[in-house]
Amino acid sequence: MNFENKYYEFRDNNLNPRILYDIFSVLFGVRKMGLIHIPIEKLDFIQKQLTEFNLFEVAKRYLIISKDKESRENLLRDSYDVVNASHVELWFSLDEFINIDPFKNPGKALSYPECCVKSYESNLGLSNFYNNYIFSNDTRYYKLNRLVVLFNQDLMMPDYFPCSLSCQASSLLIDKCNQVVLDKFPKEINENINKIMKSPLLLWGENLIYVPDWEIKSNNIILQINSNVKSQKLKDIFLINEKNILLLDKKEPKLLKFNHLLDLENLYLNFSDQSQEMYKLKYT
């Protein structure tokens, strides 16, 4: 089977190729079970794909979209009326007769870290995750950088919310998955997604800013402020905890501290009109 072609096959069928990350992590033994959420009209396509991969559908339920009141996320809830369902939750495995009830403890069935499972189960929405992701003082792992999906859909990790972007257990899970997944994707796609997940994120006032064109020189980080820059207002992403509102600084930008962006001294913003601004670097 040509795994690289699968990436383009999914894309051409208007399905995020990220789904293949979850499929490959099960197919090559990192996890016993996998989970896919898809629009209901894509069910036949996915079922054919699982058959082609010699994977078995072991559980399924129909869902409907509901809005998370405290974040930008759409949540999927049980649909009691199958006719009006918008999505399908599909569980799959290499073992046709796997003796696990995935609905009893979904996170455990998916081999997610225990800390992340507990964190997810104790939250009614995803606002607390975003508060942690953006305002934590801990160094984050860029390979857990789920924040990039606020600006584009490319991501190279399982489809879940780690309890934090500094979660060591999640980092180990990603390492195990990447060892069997990454060589199945086209090289240029891997390189591009890796670049996307490493792109600096600035917290400036009430805005989160994504800067894809950047470089590091002599312990300084230089950001190109051009048409590729994207931003979102925090209030459009999640409900900010009151204690975190005090951390917003409208005068100076703060760089989210990721493991590949450490021990830097100054932040330079180079604008398209050739002007430049320099700030003493502050992390968040």
Residues 187 and 204 in one domain: no
Q: Are residues 132 and 156 in the same domain?
A: yes
Q: Which of 172, 193, 214 is where one domain is finished?
A: 193
Q: Which two tokens stand for residue 23?
A: 């499929």
Do 241 and 179 belong to one domain?
Answer: no
In the prediction, which pLDDT does 120 show? 86
End of a domain among 160, 193, 226?
Answer: 193
Cα–Cα distance, 199 to 258 (Å, whole number):
10
For residue 272, the enclosing domain spans 199-280
Pair of tokens at residue 158: 């399982």
Q: What is the pLDDT of residue 83?
A: 77
What pLDDT does 92 receive? 97
Q: What confidence score (pLDDT) does residue 76 get?
A: 74
Alpha-carbon dihedral of residues 227, 17, 36, 172, nearest 10 degrees? -80
Structure tokens at 166: 């500094």
User: Domain boundary residue among 193, 208, 234?
Assistant: 193
pLDDT score at 57: 96
Q: What is residue 58's predicted lDDT score, i.e. its pLDDT?
A: 96
What pTM did the predictor assign? Answer: 0.91
Q: Quick one: which of 178, 126, 132 has its CA closest to 156?
A: 178
Residues 121 and 145 placed together within one structural domain of the fold: yes
Residue whose pair of structure tokens reads 């599909």 in the numeric block: 90
Q: How far apart are CA 162 and CA 143, in angstroms?
A: 11
Residue 147: CA atoms inside 13 Å, Cβ hemisphere, count? Answer: 34
Length of the chain: 284
How many domains is the chain partitioned into structurally? Answer: 2
Task: Specify whether the CB–CB gap between 126 and 71 falls below 8 A.
Answer: yes
Judgement on whether residues 43 and 154 belong to the same structural domain of the protein: yes
Mean pLDDT, contiguous 10-residue spans, the chain (284 residues)? 93 95 96 94 96 96 82 77 86 93 91 93 85 96 96 90 97 96 95 96 97 97 98 95 90 96 97 95 94
Distance CA 147, CA 130 (A): 8
Same domain, residue pair 235 and 94: no
pLDDT for 124: 66
Say what the pLDDT of residue 221 is: 98
